């Protein structure tokens, strides 16, 4: 009986990891299948009514989510309530996390299966930021990345990484201040602990060698922070400030810790202000501050933070979108229009190669089939950059959600219409937000398409 060689053992381990990855990919796709099966069941019930018009809605999570409160489901109800003698079936084919490429890959199947008269598209938010120059110069890397992005496992790994690295608050990872024990993520196993202890020892030795250098303290504080060691993180970052009160990075890191801990924003705000006073200029720091002020409707403070960012030369389009929305909500229409105009130009250039190509491809396919294309813009965003994607927009109906949402937010709070702010100037809609989209679409469809006033 011969012994298994080291090479064979390594190959067995690699094969085992590969098999686990395949099984995980299958599991995730089964979960996606369940979601889509529920979606298709609802679509089938609508189609069984054998109505006059079929409308197919394409998009990502902003289209898919909400169940009976999603905008496609509400659109169907409102259209059938308000139309006279004409009945509609509305098909929701939103795919959470999908890129425009994902959506276009399923287009022909969807057209054959549902035979729609109208297609509504609200697309592009998930596309990668690859411009034409990058794609031309790096075709191999671009296609490899596209392949990986289509794997559910790859998306899950990225999601878990983002949740861990960005210190997102959830029930499995809670930072507790004042030296109390911390609840660690379930994934924090013995292997993680061993690596954590090794890195901790290395940094503690560096602090012993350089006790007056705050840098090692800050790195160790970040290390504790990222691994859920709340009490240790707070203590070492305070020591970093004591060693060098002029190091803005220590205040900034302690501010991030407080913001994502049970300490809340009050302590975080003080730390952020200290970091600012010491010259810290960080778009992520400013976004965290502005987002908190925005969500709690402290619009003046949010404006102050965002204005500082733009005056400091920040080119972050998300910060600029947030500032434009703030001006609009406060009735500063001239400033709002100026920023929205600038954003329109930025957004036109910001559209990726993938988004532009797939919108044009969508138009061509539908035109050949004689299907009406409705291009709808995300809430709070100008329709003009979307129009400029097409050299010839003849036959396309554009739906602008910017005006109706801006007017609605002037009367009410942001949280009434959105559950988050993932897009910088908009987020996933609440049932009321989805209803606003559905009502706006109903007005356009009934007045323009059904009455023939194109």
pLDDT at 409 over 80: yes
Six token digits for residue 436: 């606003």
Same domain, 339 and 377: no
Out of 97-101, 106-110, 345-349, 374-378, pick the least confident.
345-349
Confidence category of residue 171, pLDDT binned at 50, 70, 90? very low
Q: Among the three residues 308, 327, 351, which one is the final residue of a domain in this structure? A: 351
pLDDT at 158 over 70: no
Mean pLDDT across 375-392: 88
Tell me the residue range of the domain where 360 lies: 33-129+353-413+431-450
Same domain, 268 and 288: no
Residue-level pLDDT at 139:
37
**Residue ranges with strand state E in 149-264:** none
pLDDT at 45 over 90: no
pLDDT per residue as tens digits for the range 202-213: 888 888 888 888
Residues 23 and 29: their CA atoms lie apart, in Å, by: 10
Q: Which residues pair with 294 in a beta bridge?
A: none
Six token digits for residue 324: 């434009």
DSSP reduced 3-state for 267: helix
Structural domain contains residue 140: no
Mean pLDDT of the chain: 75
Residues 115 and 121: their CA atoms lie apart, in Å, by: 16
Q: Which residues contact 135 (CB under 8 A, 6 or more apart)?
A: 142, 353
Alpha-carbon distances, residue 88 vs 76, 217, 226 (angstroms)? 6, 64, 51
Tell me the Ramachandran region of residue 448: left when phi exceeds 0, alpha when psi lies from -120 to 50, beta otherwise. alpha
Mean pLDDT across 443-450: 83
pLDDT at 335 over 60: yes
Confidence category of residue 346, pLDDT binned at 50, 70, 90? low
Question: Number of folded domains in the chain?
Answer: 3
Quick one: what percent of the chain has pLDDT higher than 90?
Answer: 23
pLDDT at 73 over 90: yes
Confidence category of residue 159, pLDDT binned at 50, 70, 90? very low
Q: What are phi and psi of 370, to 5 degrees?
A: 70, 30
Give the closest residue to 323 by CA, choosing from 310, 334, 331, 315. Answer: 310
pLDDT at 160 over 50: no
Residue-level pLDDT at 152:
44
DSSP reduced 3-state for 216: helix
Q: Structure pTM?
A: 0.55
pLDDT at 55 over 70: yes
Structural domain contains residue 260: yes
Q: Which residues contact 129 (CB under 8 A, 6 or more apart)?
A: 350, 352
Same domain, 249 and 186: yes
Confidence category of residue 421, pLDDT binned at 50, 70, 90? confident
Same domain, 399 and 374: yes
pLDDT per residue as tens digits for the range 91-120: 999 988 889 998 999 999 999 999 999 999
Mean pLDDT across 172-182: 37
pLDDT per residue as tens digits for the range 236-264: 889 989 988 888 888 888 887 787 676 66
Dihedral sign (CA 334, 309, 263, 419):
positive
Dihedral sign (CA 129, 36, 171, 267):
positive
Same domain, 115 and 215: no
Structural domain contains residue 407: yes
Residue 93 CA to chain centroid, in angstroms?
19
Out of 109-118, 208-217, 396-405, 427-436, pick the least confident.
208-217
Residue-level pLDDT at 146:
42
Q: Number of H helices and number of E strands within the chain?
A: 21, 5
Out of 30-34, 173-177, 337-341, 408-412, pick the least confident.
173-177
Q: What is the CATH number of the domain that holds 172?
A: 1.25.40.10
Q: Nearest 5 degrees, angle CA 394-CA 399-CA 401?
A: 155
């Amino acid at each position: 009986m011969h012994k298994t060689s080291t090479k064979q053992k390594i190959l067995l381990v690699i094969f085992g990891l590969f098999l686990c990855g395949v099984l995980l990919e299958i599991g995730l796709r089964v979960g996606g299948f369940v979601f889509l099966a529920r979606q298709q069941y609802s679509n089938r019930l609508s189609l069984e009514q054998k109505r006059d018009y079929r409308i197919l809605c394409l998009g990502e999570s902003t289209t898919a989510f909400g169940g009976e409160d999603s905008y496609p489901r509400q659109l169907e109800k409102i259209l059938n309530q308000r139309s006279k003698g004409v009945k509609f079936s509305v098909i929701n084919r939103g795919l959470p996390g999908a890129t425009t490429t994902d959506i276009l890959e399923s287009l022909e199947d969807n057209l054959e299966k549902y035979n729609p008269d109208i297609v509504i598209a609200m697309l592009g938010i998930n596309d990668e930021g690859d411009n034409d120059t990058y794609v031309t110069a790096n075709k191999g890397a671009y296609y490899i990345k596209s392949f990986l992005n289509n794997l559910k496992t790859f998306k899950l790994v990225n999601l878990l990484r983002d949740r861990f690295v960005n210190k997102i608050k959830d029930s499995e990872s809670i930072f507790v201040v004042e030296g109390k024990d911390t609840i660690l993520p379930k994934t924090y196993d013995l292997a993680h602990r061993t690596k954590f202890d090794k890195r901790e020892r290395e940094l503690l030795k560096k602090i012993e060698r350089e006790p007056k250098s705050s840098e090692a303290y800050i790195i160790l504080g970040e290390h504790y922070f990222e691994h859920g060691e709340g009490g240790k993180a707070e203590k070492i970052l305070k020591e970093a400030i004591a060693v060098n009160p002029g190091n803005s990075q220590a205040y900034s890191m302690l501010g991030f810790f407080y913001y994502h801990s049970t300490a809340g924003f009050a302590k975080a705000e003080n730390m952020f202000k200290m970091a600012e006073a010491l010259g810290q200029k960080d778009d992520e720091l400013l976004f965290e501050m502005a987002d908190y002020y925005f969500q709690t409707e402290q619009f003046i403070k949010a404006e102050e933070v965002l204005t500082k960012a733009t005056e400091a030369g920040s080119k972050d389009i998300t910060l600029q979108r947030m500032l434009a929305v703030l001006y609009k909500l406060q009735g500063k229409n001239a400033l709002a229009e100026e920023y929205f105009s600038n954003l329109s130009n930025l957004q036109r250039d910001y559209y990726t190669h993938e988004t532009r190509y797939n919108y044009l491809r969508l138009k061509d396919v539908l035109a050949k089939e004689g299907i009406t294309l409705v291009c709808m813009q995300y809430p709070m965003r100008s329709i003009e950059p979307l129009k400029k994607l097409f050299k010839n927009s003849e036959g396309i109906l554009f739906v602008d959600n910017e005006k109706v949402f801006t007017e609605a937010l002037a009367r009410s709070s942001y949280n009434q219409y959105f559950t988050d702010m993932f897009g910088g100037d908009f987020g996933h809609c609440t049932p009321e937000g989805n209803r606003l989209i559905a009502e706006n679409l109903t007005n356009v469809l009934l007045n323009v398409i059904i009455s023939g006033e194109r």
